[in-house]
Structure 1
């Protein structure tokens, strides 16, 4: 007897985006009061002016629920129409249980498939790829994907190499079926020979990063991935309305933009300046900010790329909701 498979939708699309930014703004000048740094040093090296740090009550779950709730409201769906919830995060302090089921419950989603995903700063793009494929294969019809981080929990705030960069926040997307594909194939991979370039070593509670090695890898190895993502979706640089790579470092964003030859018609996300590096949350935070400001609009074609610990990377093209 042949095993029967479900029939999914021809394609998947984004139905809504949502974001949550912690209340506390931390400027470069504030950091200069507690460590040997200054505004010019930080802006020159990473392009950050300020970042958000979560308070005690702004937990991973609280931030994920806030962002997911906004995305759900924007989608026009009710919670009982969702059957998959994926939470991407690299900063969970307790490995068991994962927070996916708790986030789903808090959002009022009844008994969905739910799990956490850790692909570092590439987590959101990995999760979008998984959710879109689930919709196309019939394993799910509607999905919520959340990227959420409290990187201040795993950052040595006395280490200026990391303390000036990492921040907190959450961003979410709701996905659903589409007669025409509006999310291109995910192009993902890893360079495990540099697995410990970003790590929390065994027995440690804080993260270390080989900043120069990660910078060289991102600026020399990942442009090809962006080209592959566009090729897989059947589009070229001239078709891209919005470029939103992971907000790791403004110099990396500018390098990628230049190498791809994007002109003035392409809006480039630079949320790193105001939000810092929020890992798996950075891309949905950046996209939401562009839509709210009017710099991007519904129906725009976006190219995204997540990259980070592992070293993992994932890129795709999709239309904004």
Structure 2
């Protein structure tokens, strides 16, 4: 009988740019206030990448820290999967650029674009590679420089986003690890949250709503996000034959405190069992879940053997979850 193989998180890492932009700083450049932003989003500050600092730079530093925590050398990596919607270049992939800096040349490396759900999608792919036996050690990264897409004159969106990266090293294990992952998408809702510029679509400066900027219908996104996350959490619990009270920690995508609180309420989970970093990081898209996970692990909150639920929702729409025994 073939022994079951799990993908266990062997190490976590994260990286945030040095520059911090507070709500008070934003109030100097757009019509807003700390109270207005904090009340509606829970965000107090966010990190901004320096001039010349790329998504790949943030991803590299997060990867190094995760590999150090896991005790893994670059030569041991069988695969690198990087979730991002703000790649350094059109090609090659940011994963290939990071791979080269790590000195891990030779193993497969590619990007996944699922917006804010990019890390969960990337983690799912890595999990499948390990379960199938195609890989034993995988580096998974979520990294963004989303502030490069922000319209700093639009107070409804510019207050939300920040830059950052998180990473995990997965290793094959016969005892514990990722129990299940669940992914979904609905492209019919794309115009509620999107960046309507691309290579094939082109750039037409004489048309309205053009430019590499984030366009979002906040109220509609909120409603869809809460419903989708509620559904994927129920799907995850049912798939694993678990009750919501079995979950030790919820680590959600850090988009908006109200969405996080709504998800926790539906799980009947007290907020002291929910990892929240949105106040310090803002919405870092693909970087938010691994950033929050790394912070919780290094603070000693998430302990080995505990049941952890990761979930995210992003433009596309995309949404998904991962349940793991840390």
Question: What's the TM-score once normalised by structure 2's chain length?
Answer: 0.92
In structure 2, relative to structure 1, the CA distance for the partners of 1:233 and 1:182 (3 Å cut) is farther
Shift of 1:8: 9.1
Contact in 2 for aligned 1:68/1:144 (Cα 8 Å):
yes
User: Runs ≥4 in structure 1, deviation > 6 angstroms?
Assistant: none
Cα deviation, residue 110, structure 1: 3.1
2:43 matched to 1:48?
yes
* Root mean square deviation, CA, Å: 1.5
Which stretch of the first structure deviates more once superposed, 13-22 or 219-228?
A: 219-228
After the TM superposition, which of the residue ranges 89-98 and 308-317 deviates more from structure 2?
A: 89-98
Matched residues in 1 for 2:240 and 2:284: separation?
27
| Deviations, residues 89-145 of structure 1 (Å, cap 9, x unaligned) | 011253222111111121121311110100010010011110011011122111000
Instruction: Tell me which moved more, 289-298 or 154-163.
Output: 289-298
Matched, 1:298 2:304: yes
Structure-2 separation of matches of 1:297 and 1:115: 30
Matched, 1:99 2:94: yes
**Counterpart of 2:292?**
286
CA distance in 2, matches of 1:170, 1:97: 19
| TM-score normalised to structure 1 length | 0.94
**Equivalent residues in 2 for 1:211-222 (5 A)?**
211-222=218-229
- Match status 1:226 vs 2:221: no
Instruction: State how far apart, in whole Å, the 2-side matches of 1:21 and 1:169 are.
Output: 5
Unaligned runs of 5+ in 2: 198-202, 204-210
1:273 corresponds to which residue?
Answer: 279
**Alignment partners' CA distance in 1, 2:88 and 2:248:** 37
- Residue 298 of structure 1 deviates from its aligned partner by 2.9
Which residue is equivalent to 1:4? none
Is the alpha carbon distance of 1:98 and 1:110 closer, same or farther for their aligned partners in structure 2, counting shifts above 3 Å? closer
Listed as ranges, the matches of 1:1-321 within 5 Å are: 10-92=5-87, 94-202=89-197, 203=203, 204-263=211-270, 267-320=273-326
Q: CA–CA distance in 1 between the matches of 2:150 and 2:83?
A: 18
TM superposition shift of 1:229: 1.4
Structure-2 separation of matches of 1:147 and 1:288: 12
